[in-house]
Amino acid sequence: MSISTPRTARAILASSLAVLALVACSGTSSQGAATPKPVATTAASTTYWKPDSGERHLRNIRQLTFGGNNAESYFSRDSKQLIFQRQEQVDAGCDQQYLMNADGSDMRRVSNGEGRTTCGFFYDGDRRILYSSTSQHDKACPAPPDKSQGYVWPIGYLEIYTSKLDGSDLRQLTDNGTYNAETTVSYDGKKLIFTSTMHGDIDLYTMNPDGTGLKQITTRIGYDGGAWFSPDGKLIVWRAAYPKTAADTADYERLLKDHLVRPSRTEVWVANADGTNPRQVTSLGGANFAPVFTPDGKKIIFSSNYKNPRSGAFDLYLINVDGTGLEAVTTNPEFDSFPMFSYDYKHLVWASNRHGRQPGETDLFIAEWVE
């Protein structure tokens, strides 16, 4: 995720599509936590919208959240719940982690309200969740990035945490004082994949769910982020932005020293699960990010603004793993991103600015998936 979600484009995850020391990730360690503050019980949503023209894969679009900024919503393994990050006001506050049922009911905060959180995910048979938080570095809300640098994402200080679904038993999985975020879990639950700057650059790492078995799997200079495993665990997909010229490299390294990255030119890549045999899937230009495999592993769904790269008009697209067969999934003129299919391939959930009640509002939507 991902990184904190942008306010106008809301382009990723943390946070959220959401980075330096030379210390490896540690094992789990107990961490004290304030009791998560419950929110008023929400009922199942009864708000449905018709798909826009050209959205043939979507049926019975249901709006799940109403107000604030909501993004990076990911299904539990049984596809009955969602974890997501929420900022209760569009222009104030910090993203925290929330759970709710897939119909929008029983929304409740599960993080402790400290710092900014991002990139939540279910694992351990839906008995636990994980997410990243800035709270160890600073319990206050992080300052926004310097706008004089153009459109940049903060790559700040985040560590990965795990807790039970009610927020209790909070444990810290990483402890290296750098950026550790954008974590997802393999389908079999045996591996985590995440983005970190622990060795100086923005690279992908895998580790076991208890924080052991750390392995760096990308080494090319540039931004590697937002990775997911394929359903069979043989491949990974992620977004990458690699400098092409000496000037690009200098700009990248200058921003990285200030804990920033420029995400305006990213493409989708795939590789073997250990990082070998990397190959580029998209060559569209603009920002292509939030890629996820379809549950059958044959295609990738992702978000892109390639038709108007200087805008926040992102849509969802499908593409074959070999880069052929590009097809639009959404056509709404507003921002659409952070997609995930339910594990049974029956529903798609994503974040969008469509139907917002105020400018910049980002809400969660779920639709029946039509082949």
Inside any domain, residue 343: yes
Residue 233, domain CATH? 2.120.10.30
Res. 177 pLDDT band, cuts 50 70 90: very high
Q: How much is the CA Rg of the chain, to the nearest whole Å?
A: 18
Question: What is the domain count for the chain?
Answer: 1
Residues 313-340: what's their mean pLDDT? 98
Res. 361 pLDDT band, cuts 50 70 90: very high
Res. 192 pLDDT band, cuts 50 70 90: very high
The answer to whether residues 63 and 363 touch, using CB atoms and an 8 Å cutoff, is yes
Inside any domain, residue 4: no
Which pLDDT does position 151 carry in this prediction? 83
Inside any domain, residue 305: yes
Give the integer Cα–Cα distance in Å for 1 and 175.
Answer: 19
Res. 41 pLDDT band, cuts 50 70 90: low
End-to-end CA distance of the chain: 26
Nearest to 70 by CA among 361, 371, 359: 361
Give the integer Cα–Cα distance in Å for 265 and 267.
Answer: 7
Inside any domain, residue 3: no
Q: Where are the beta strands (DSSP E) in 156-278?
A: 159-164, 171-172, 180-185, 192-196, 203-207, 215-216, 223-229, 235-241, 260-261, 267-272
Res. 36 pLDDT band, cuts 50 70 90: low
Residues 96-114: what's their mean pLDDT? 97
In which domain, by residue range, is 213 found? 29-369
Q: Per 3-state DSSP, what percentage of the chain is helix, strand, and coil (rounded to 5)? A: 5, 40, 55
In sequence order, the 6+-apart residues with CB closer than 8 A to the CB of 53 are: 331
Q: Is the pLDDT of residue 162 over 70?
A: yes
Inside any domain, residue 197: yes
Give the integer Cα–Cα distance in Å for 175 and 99.
Answer: 25
Res. 148 pLDDT band, cuts 50 70 90: confident
Give the bridge partners for 160, in sequence order.
132
Q: Is the pLDDT of residue 52 over 90?
A: yes
Residues 122-143: what's their mean pLDDT? 96
Q: What is the maximum alpha-carbon separation in the chain? A: 54
pTM metric for this prediction:
0.89
Inside any domain, residue 5: no
Residues 330-351: what's their mean pLDDT? 97
Which pLDDT does position 311 carry in this prediction? 87
Q: Is the pLDDT of residue 19 over 60?
A: no
Instruction: Output the average pLDDT for the chain.
Output: 90
The answer to whether residues 260 and 149 touch, using CB atoms and an 8 Å cutoff, is yes
Inside any domain, residue 16: no
Inside any domain, residue 168: yes
